Structure 1
Amino acid sequence: MAKYTAFLALLICLFLVAATEIQMVEGKYCWKKSGKWNVACKYSYKCSYHCKHYYGAKYGICKKYKPWGHKYYWAKYACYCYSPCHY
């Protein structure tokens, strides 16, 4: 019985050392303005569906930007797609 206890304790110690050596990957997302979105972005859920369907992105949101020549407040929002960054 003592052999099994010592073996089990050694196995647990080995597992704990290995678990601390594993580095956590940070979940950073990179964004890109959708080139296929041709209208002003009013609803983020529609933008998110668009990004998932056309680009395979994780999600999409309507985000404010500074357009040239637009006088309406809702025209200042564009669809931006977010997906995991690849370094």
Structure 2
Amino acid sequence: MAKYTGFLALLICLFLVAATEIQMVEGKYCWKKSGKWNGPCQYSYKCSYHCKHYYGAKYGICKKYKPWGHKYYWAKYACYCYSPCHY
């Protein structure tokens, strides 16, 4: 009887560890460049406020990007909005 009790206790512990690991998995965030942002993006906290206000996004950050069709390789900054992905 003691062997089965120990095995059952170990099985319950493994189940609890697995259940907590499943709950800690975070969802992925999808990004989208803000179309309403004017000018260069210098401060991420302003971009974050902009994304929350206009798009209802979780947050926003200023991030480097290379404009399409531009022959020079310097990077510019743009405001990108992040929100949970909907598949």
TM range (shorter): 0.5 to 0.7
Q: Could you tell me whether the CA contact under 8 Å between 1:41 and 1:74 is conserved in 2? A: no
Q: Distance in 2 between matches of 1:21 and 1:75?
A: 39
Q: Distance in 1 between matches of 2:10 and 2:65?
A: 58
Q: Percent identity?
A: 95
Q: What 5-or-longer segments of structure 2 have no aligned partner?
A: none
Under a length normalisation based on structure 1, what TM-score does the superposition of the two structures give?
A: 0.65
Offset, 1:67? 2.5
How many equivalent residue pairs? 87
Distance 1:66 1:20, change over 3 A: closer
Between 45-54 and 62-71, the greater mean CA deviation after superposition: 62-71
Distance 1:14 1:33, change over 3 A: closer
**Cα displacement string for residues 58-85 of structure 1 (whole angstroms, at most 9, x for unaligned residues):** 0000000013698999970000000000
Runs (4 or more) in structure 1 with deviation over 4 Å come to: 1-25, 68-75
Distance 1:75 1:39, change over 3 A: farther
Under a length normalisation based on structure 2, what TM-score does the superposition of the two structures give?
A: 0.65
Distance 1:10 1:40, change over 3 A: closer
* RMSD of equivalent CA atoms: 5.0
Distance 1:71 1:42, change over 3 A: farther
Offset, 1:38? 1.4
Between 64-73 and 10-19, the greater mean CA deviation after superposition: 10-19
For 2:32, what is the secondary structure of its paired residue? strand
**Cα displacement string for residues 32-52 of structure 1 (whole angstroms, at most 9, x for unaligned residues):** 000000111000000000000
